[in-house]
Structure 1
């Protein structure tokens, strides 16, 4: 699906990530985990073709730079942490922006918008303005736009890639699970997703794999059960953590303990 080898990424003279490699296959939902400033957003921007880099990135076995923006538009979609909208669009209009790679009638477009709005519990929001929504509601709108751009849950001939930067950060518990279960189903249909996320227990429940970024490097990568260990996490966060099995799911649960401020 997407492979990156020996990537060096930075801003001017500041190196953010150095010599990192990874291979994300179809059917994998990969949690990108690290401290603030670890390079999660930078890596997502880079894999989306939006940031310069040294090294190699292959998307569906072809060099990423060999695709035009128009070609990539229907193959990979990006939902970034900051989704500033320069105009006060309606919810319908913003979701419809995801349909720009497709040539279709207005009726078909409207049906698609309704479909993806429904998946994010936005059916009754379509005429509302973005400025009238809470941060979490706006986040769900941008997720619906991302689904619309990839024509998710529609028969397709090749795998597609979803890149999400902290997509659950403003959501309540119910909508966090709604969004991630949607992404998990998308992945199980032969696609891939990479999600930058700070909630380790949500990541554990829904991700198949994880990449830990620490000190400009990949500290550990692999299946979620082998990566989310107390040893790995304590090395990354420099704090005492406990990892126990989830009572109902085959997933590790991470527990911290209260600290005294000094």
Structure 2
């Protein structure tokens, strides 16, 4: 579905990503993990086609540059970690922006917008200005817009892609699971997702595969249990971490231990 080959990205003279190669297949939810500054957000931006890069990125076997912006909007949606809003839109207005590329009546658009606002448990906030939202509420609004843009749960024959940069960073525990279960359902319907995520236990529960970035390159990639090992994690985070099986799910759980200051 999505392939990337020999990606190199630099900011000025500083190399951020070096020789990154991989692919994401239909039915995969890929967790992108690594320490601060490993290049996770940069890779999300690169795969979205929003920053310059060297190398190749193809979606459905076509280079990103071959798609118009409207075509891309129907095939992949992006939720970035930083939300730059120039105006005080309402929640309803911001989610409705995800429908701009569709030729539909105002009534049809409003129905879709209401549906995806409800999925993210935001119906009680639909008239509120985004400037009055908490960081977690704004993340959920961005996710609702992403769902609306892809018409995520419609019956569509062509697989679609989500690119999510730390979508759970400001959420409480319940809403973390709500959002990620929504992503998993989207993937299980025959789509795919890439999630940059710091919470390794959430990655263990909800991703099928992991790409582990370290020092500008891919240290390891593959099925989540094969990558989330003590050896790999201790290497990239430079601290003792312990991996145990989840008591209820076939998933690795990661435990840290207290550290002494200095």
> What band does the TM-score fall into relative to the shorter chain?
over 0.9
Counterpart residue number, 1:219: 219
- Aligned counterpart, 2:7: 7
Q: Compute the TM-score of the two structures, normalised by the length of structure 1.
A: 0.99
Q: Measure how far apart 1:20 and its partner are.
A: 1.1
> Counterpart of 1:185?
185
Q: How many Å apart are 1:179 and its aligned residue?
A: 0.1
Superposed counterparts of 1:82-161, under 5 Å: 82-161=82-161
- Match of residue 207 from structure 1: 207
| Greater than 3 Å deviation, 4+ residue runs | none
Cα deviation digits, residues 143-176 of structure 1 (max 9, x gap): 0000000001001121111000000000000000
Alpha-carbon offset, residue 13 of structure 1: 1.1
1:61 and 2:57 correspond: no
Q: Distance in 1 between matches of 2:10 and 2:151?
A: 33
Distance 1:158 1:15 in 2: 35
Cα distance between partner residues in 1 of 2:112 and 2:19: 41
Once the two structures are superposed, what CA deviation does each residue of 1:230-261 show, in whole Å capped at 9, x if it has no partner?
Answer: 00000111111100000000000001100011
Of 66-75 and 191-200, the range deviating more from structure 2 = 66-75
> Is residue 45 of structure 1 aligned with residue 45 of structure 2?
yes
Cα distance between partner residues in 2 of 1:25 and 1:45: 19
Does residue 177 of structure 2 align to residue 168 of structure 1? no
TM-score by length of structure 2 reads 0.99
The whole-number CA distance in structure 1 between the counterparts of 2:156 and 2:2 is 18
Aligned to 2:260: 260
After superposition, the CA RMSD in angstroms is 0.7
- Pairwise CA distance, 1:74: 1.1
Cα displacement (A) at 1:80: 0.2
CA deviation after TM superposition for structure 1 residue 180, in Å: 0.1
Residues 82-128 of structure 1: CA distance to partner in whole angstroms, max 9, x if unpaired?
01211000010000000011011111111001100010001111111
Name the SS for the 1:210 alignment partner.
strand
- Deviations, residues 196-215 of structure 1 (Å, cap 9, x unaligned): 00000001100000000001
**How many angstroms apart in 2 are the aligned matches of 1:100 and 1:5?**
32
**3-state SS of paired residue (2:231):** helix
Unaligned runs of 5+ in 2: none
3-state SS, counterpart of residue 74 of structure 1? helix
Provide the C-alpha distance between the structure 2 equivalents of 1:157 and 1:25, rounded to a whole number of angstroms. Answer: 15
SS in 1 for 2:3: strand
DSSP-derived class of the 2:147 partner:
helix
SS at 2:55 equivalent? strand
Q: Equivalents in 2 of 1:109, 1:227: separation in Å?
A: 42
